[in-house]
Homo-oligomer: A and B are copies of this chain.
Amino acid sequence: MSDVSDWWRTRIIDMEPGRIHLRGHPIEDLIGHRSFAQMIWLMVTGEEISGPRADLFEAALVAAVDHGPQAPSIAAARMATTCGVGLQSAMATGLNMLGDVHGGAGEQALALYHHVDRAGPEGLGLALDTWRAEHGPYLPGFGHRFHTTTDPRAPRLLELVDAVAETGGVPGSYGQIGRAIQADLAREKGKPVPMNIDGATAVIFAELGCPAPLARGFFCLSRSVGILAHSWEQTQQGGRNKGPTPPQYRWTYDGT
């Protein structure tokens, strides 16, 4: 032990030659005994997850893997693979774009749910007012510029939450909070503003007791799957220095 060894401290991994312990478990006891999703939860939170709670976590990870090459992260990763860089570099390119706007809505929705939860069952209206005073009119996790009527991922995820809540696997209170916000928004706008993928995965992460910033981390893991799938497909399609539009269109010069 020394000041140098102490500079890097972790509860995640302990290691000697021939021996790797992750979160207190010999790696050979984890291999073959944890699903990949369970391993993600264990590594990141330090706690075990199993049964219906693990199923919910798997569902949230499955739901967000891809939304197609119109998403800047996917398009950029595909373009990167045509630039002569490694697959890891193409993946990093896509992942690096999952910022506050492109990948942050789940984290924000989770923070919103926590905020509403603290206000209690009677306090929804006031809670939304105070949220908007600080963060602006848009409520994260609701509405979708493409799936204007229904984001097909959200009702399916809520259905799974309900099923687990019925058997006591999760409290279910965040599913209720999400639906209450959805109902409030519909009243306010006079039309449905349906919960989207970020709002629905945030319900799951909230039910599982996850702090808000981790929602972004988990989303990043999930979307990395689509990023890899598209990067790999583009590698097979080939191309060199693939631009965003067919070359004959180029761009509009706006100068004088």
Contacts and interface: CB of A to CB of B under 8 A. Distances in A.
A13 B89 contact: no
Contact of A244 (B15, B101, B245): B245
Q: How many copies does the complex hold?
A: 4
Interface string A149-170: 1111101110010000000000
Interface stretch (A63-71, A118-126, A176-184): A63-71
A152 B28 contact: yes
6 contacts: A6-B246, A13-B67, A15-B250, A28-B155, A36-B61, A102-B241
Interface in A54-87: 55, 58-59, 61-63, 65-73, 75-76, 78-80, 82-87
Contact of A88 (B14, B62, B95): B95
A99 B86 contact: yes
Contact of A1 (B88, B214, B248, B252): B252
| Interface SS, A side | mixed
Nearest to A13: B68
Interface of A: 1-15, 17-20, 22-24, 26-28, 30-32, 34-37, 39-40, 43-44, 55, 58-59, 61-63, 65-73, 75-76, 78-80, 82-89, 91-93, 95-104, 146-153, 155-157, 160, 213-214, 216-217, 220-222, 224-226, 228-233, 235, 237, 240-256
